[in-house]
Amino acid sequence: MPSQLYRSSLATNLLWLLVLLSPFLVLVTATSLGSQARALLHWKSTLQGGQLLASWNIDSRPCNWTGVACRVTRKGRLVIADVHLPDTSLAGPLDAFNFSALGSLANLNLSCNRLNGTIPPAIATLSQLVTLDLTGNLFVGRIPIEMGSMKGLQFLSLSQNQIMSSVPPSLSNLSGLTHLDLGQNKLRGPIPRELGRLEKLRFLELGDNQLSGSIPPGLGNLTRLYHLALCKNQLTGSIPRQLGDLIDLIYFSLSNNNLTGTLLSIMGNLTKLQSLLVWKNQLSGSIPLEIGNLIEVSKLDVSNNMLTGPIPSIIGNMSNLNILHLFNNELSGSIPSQIGNLLHIFNLDLSNNMLTGSIPFSLGNMSKLNILFLYDNKLSGPIPPSLGNLKNLTDLRLFMNGLYGPLPPEMNNIIGLTSLQLSNNNFSGYLPADICKGGALSYLAVSNNSFQGPIPMTLKNCTGLSRLYLHHNQLTGDISQYLGVYPHLWYVDLSFNRLSGTLSPDWGRWHNLTCLRISNNNITGVIRPEFGHLSNLQKLDLSSNHLQGEIPKSLGNLAYLYNLSLSNNRLVGEVPMELGRMSNLQLLDLSRNGLTGRIPYQIGTCMKLQLLKLNNNNLSGSIPLEIGNLVYLQDALDLSHNSLTGEIPSQLGKLSMLQYLNLSHNGFTGGLPSSLKDMVSLSVIDVSHNELEGPVPDSPFFHKAPLEWFLHNKGLCGVVKGLPPCVSAASRRNDESKHHKVVVILAITASMVFILLSLMIVGAALQFRKRKKQSLPAQDNGNREGAFCILSFDGRYAYKDIIEATEDFNDKYCIGTGACGSVYRAELTSGKVLAVKKIHLQEIENTSNEIPFQNEIQTLTRIRHRNIVKLYGFCCSTRHKFLVYEYMERGSLGSILRSEAAAAELDWVKRVDVVKDVARALSYMHHDCDQPIVHRDITSNNILLDSEFKACVSDFGIARLLQPDSSNWSMIAGTHGYLAPELAYRMRVTTQCDVYSFGVVTLELLMGTYPGEFISVLPSSSAQSSSVKTILDQRVPLPTAEAADEVVAVLRLAIRCVDDNPESRPTMKHIFYKLSTPKTHPNLPSLDSLKLSDLRNGEI
């Protein structure tokens, strides 16, 4: 009983104690929660766009605020535990976030906002934090090493920011971490090997950064990983065998790096894998048979490597595959029929390999297939009828193979096709009648085959059509009956067929059209004036038909047109003066018609013209003086076979880039202007069959010119072998007298020069002794060559040396002049020879020209490559602005090719090596830099050669980085004739623009002259029947049998590079790989018998 009384009394006393203390407990809790609330409110006050935080105010309970959650601690305290504010448009820094006041936070999610600045090291004071998600913001700077002390952290995501530091090894201290995502930043340096200690890690994402070095083998210790992504970095070395221990992996990506070695057989251990991505590396060897063990894989991508050998038939066991990408390798052998067992696959791409044999019948079993790419292989045989079972197929590409025979009628069953590309095969027969039965077809390319018969009628109602390539077949029928109105159509090529009929006025409603080619057919009637409504048209080629009537004046409305070819028709009337409004015109060919009247002077306003052919007409009058304004004329100016009269204008001498000039078979009178010797690029000039008289200009070019270019004139004379001399006996005696006077003058002058030189030598010796004494104490200052290092540029000494070495940029040191500046040879006192590019004074005054100057500096200081010209330094003063480069002894490739002697020294082995050097540089710029760099002005004049013929790419004044998150639209820049044709109509800069320019330069190197006309006629049957021998530069002996393989391979690649369609061009990485691994062809025909058309054969 006493004990009960005691217990009752104790309980009563405790109750009273709690009553007395309760106000203080509430006060403590309120004070703690209040300080946390004030910390959040202070941070909110520093943010922008916090409209969704309206509930955050001092008058409301923080636990009820948007994105805030509270909890009660074990000690009964109420604290803020979670701040969850993803995608709430918050902007501002984290500097004002008082992390120490919120030490009880367990989860902090601020993802998908616009928070910026650096991540404060104080964030590490959140010692109880379990989840930290800062994904998708604008954070820069480094990852704080202090974060390694947040021992309770299990989830850490800093992805999709702009963090530029290395990955701190201290993160390996987060022993409880299960999820680490640092992807899509700008992280640099190696992957820390210490990360291999995070044994609880299940998710590791480091992709899309700039990490370098090798993959640490220690990552093989992370045996709980189900996601490992190291893609889109700059990792090198081989794949560690230890990664084969990661048997729980579901997602594995090493793509887009520089990994070498082989695909390891231990990959077969990863039996839970669903995605295996190792594309765009430099992996070699064969595909291991063990890959067949990966029966759970739904996506396998090993494309863009250097894999060889056959496709293993065991791939047919990977029954869950949805996507199989093996393209851009060197795989050989036949396509295994077992691939037909992949019943769930919807994307199969085996393109750009060396596969042979026929297309397996079993592919027809893959009923879910949407995409089938087998192009650019060596496949043969007909298309199996079983492909007609692929009723879900939307994109079928079989071009560039050796397939033959008619298309199976079963292909009419594939009604959902949006793209059908069968070009460059040997197909015959008729095109499927129901080729557009489903109305979905957008892209039809069946060119370079032997199809015959009419264009299918269903094509007329195919309103979604955007591209139509039917050229180089044997199609017949009335063209106007088979084509309808296509609102999305932008490219049409029907050339080299047997089509007839007339041009339809309805085609003037193809408002998106950029190219219309119907050349080499049997089209009759007139050119429709409605074509002047095609406001986006860039190329119009109606040549070699039977068109009549006049050229419509409305064509002058086509402001974007760069190629107008109406040659070899029956057109009459005058050349419309309205054509002078086409300011982008580069090629104008009206030859072989019945045109009359005068050449309109307005043609001289088409300043971008590179080719002008008006030959074989009935034109009269004189050559307009304004033709001399066409300073970009390069390929040809052909006015021959007309009735032109008057004198040849001296203004033609301004056409310094022109290579072909033909004025023959006219009625020109007077003499040849002496200014013609200023046409330094000329390779042909034909003025025969005129009424010309007087001397031929005296220049090395005319000394070597053949007599037939000058025959059948009234009285030409002079330096051409076979022409009579212009000098009479009296004038010869006068010359001898003059010669005697010159000898006397020279003797007197030589004596004076000798005296002056003696005085100068004595003076220089005294000055040298004086300088030597003054310089002795300063010998430890180092030589001046170091002043030209970008990282330690000493402008004072460099400037003084260069001014002295060039005598303040005296013209006698000038070795080249361009649009923005002149280049000088500067030999410093140390003996170092440099090339100095001085920006023209007017360029300095023009602030808009500051961009190329800065571009060149910024581009060349961020890249280092043996085939990119070295930038030693730059100077920018009030008086001069110049760039300092390494000196390339042999100058530009263009100047070498224009010189008979220098070109003869450039044999075929050296030429192939030059191509490899340029390809190596461009491959590095496009594929191995932090961001792809597009040069935009690859020309023969911007390729420099040193004394050993090593080539370097130069002149980066208009280069640009390709931004992955930018559209990369740009104004047209570069050198006309080397620009990719798509720039004329879409002005979007891509690496494929450089590929086209590379192709032009390569052809120029092989042919010895600018290949513009060759490229324009390349698709024609006459060009395709040309022998390779006639194309090659005749100034050097034909390549030996050993070199012929490589020359033919280079020519084949060059022709692919200048394809009008940028999607059909290879990448520079692929080009360099092909050039680096040349294949021998023991059955290669002789260059005499080898035709251009043979280059389509994959065996060559």
- Supply the residues annotated as catalytic: 937
CB 615 within 8 Å of CB 635: no
Q: Is 591 helix (H, G, I), strand (E, B) or coil?
A: coil
- Cα 322 from chain centre: 30
The conformation of residue 927, written as its DSSP 8-state character, comes to: I
- CA-CA distance, 822 to 801, in Å (whole number)? 18
Of 567, 563, 573, 500, which is closest to residue 537 (Cα–Cα)? Answer: 563
Return the closest-CA partner of residue 1098 out of 333, 396, 356, 334. 356
CB 720 within 8 A of CB 697: no
Bridge partners, residue 646, by sequence: 668
Query: Which residues have C-beta within 8 Å of that of residue 107, sequence separation ≥ 6?
Result: 81, 82, 83, 84, 129, 130, 131
How much is the CA Rg of the chain, to the nearest whole Å? Answer: 37
Residues 6 or more apart whose CB falls under 8 angstroms from that of 174 comprise 147, 148, 150, 151, 153, 156, 198
Q: At what angle do helices 991-1007 and 908-923 cross, to 10 degrees?
A: 170
User: What b-and-e string marks burial along 823-861, b requiring 16 or more CB atoms within 10 Å of the CB?
Assistant: bbbbebeeebebbbbbbbeebbeeeebeebbebbbebbe
- 184-217 b/e with 16+ CB inside 10 Å = b? bbebbeebbbbbbbbeebbbbbbbbbbbeeebbe
Look at residues 1036, 716, 795, 804 and name the one whose alpha carbon lies nearest to residue 907: 1036
Strand, coil or helix: 28: helix
CB 393 within 8 A of CB 370: yes
Q: Which residues of 458-477 are buried (b: 16+ CB within 10 A; e: fewer)?
A: bbbebebbbbbbbbbbebbb
* Nearest alpha carbon to residue 370 among 335, 327, 336, 418: 418
Q: Would you call 1007 helix, strand, or coil by DSSP?
A: helix
State the Cα angle at 897 between 635 and 1090, rounded to 5°: 75
Extract the tokens encoding 147.
């974060």
Report the C-alpha gap between 465 and 318 in whole angstroms: 37
Closest CA to 540 of 561, 509, 510, 521: 561
Q: Which two tokens stand for residue 249?
A: 């992996």
9 φ, ψ to 5°? -65, -40
- Counting other chains too, the contacts that 366-371 makes at CB distance below 8 Å and 24 or more residues apart are 366/339, 366/340, 366/342, 366/390, 367/343, 367/391, 367/392, 368/343, 368/344, 368/392, 369/345, 369/393, 370/346, 370/394, 370/395, 371/346, 371/347, 371/395
User: What are the strands, taking DSSP E only, across 141-296?
Assistant: 155-157, 179-181, 188-189, 203-205, 210-213, 227-229, 234-235, 251-253, 275-277
The residues, ordered by sequence, that sit 6+ positions from 980 with a Cβ below 8 Å of its Cβ are: 992, 993, 995, 996, 997, 1062
Size of the chain in residues: 1100
Measured at the alpha carbon of residue 259, what is the angle toward residues 254 and 262, in degrees to the nearest 5?
95
Distance of alpha carbon 589 from alpha carbon 181, whole angstroms: 60
